Structure 1
Amino acid sequence: MQTTDDLAQQVLTTLGDHAEDFDVPGIVEDLRAVYDGVRSVDDVPAAEYWQIVSEHDTTERDVHG
């Protein structure tokens, strides 16, 4: 059984060296809210996954206030 921590690790893996530029807990929370019972980032359509990720880009917040 996978946990939220497993999902967070998967998100971190997809972000690679840029993980620090994103609100990973926020991404996981949104994934869980939109895809009830999601167990893997692979269960989310790629375009929708990356849209959720982009909404948690902290570098964008820093630039635009």
Structure 2
Amino acid sequence: MTKAERILAECKRRGLTVTRTGKAWHISGNRVDVRVANLEDVSLEELNPANWCSSSALHK
């Protein structure tokens, strides 16, 4: 299994939407919004939901 196939499988497991838009890939859903030219460039950490509440700007 290639890295791109592993990323696609992980996106499916997490219920994320993966779309090809022109020459780029867009991965979104569950507080995830990633755009890359190659799926191989995506790290698993980027597929984790954004934790907006931990921002120090929100605690001021």
With structure 2 as the length reference, what TM-score do the two structures score?
0.41
Rg larger in 1 or in 2? 2
Is the strand fraction higher in 1 or 2?
A: 2
TM (norm. structure 1) is 0.38
Q: Greater helix percent: which structure? A: 1
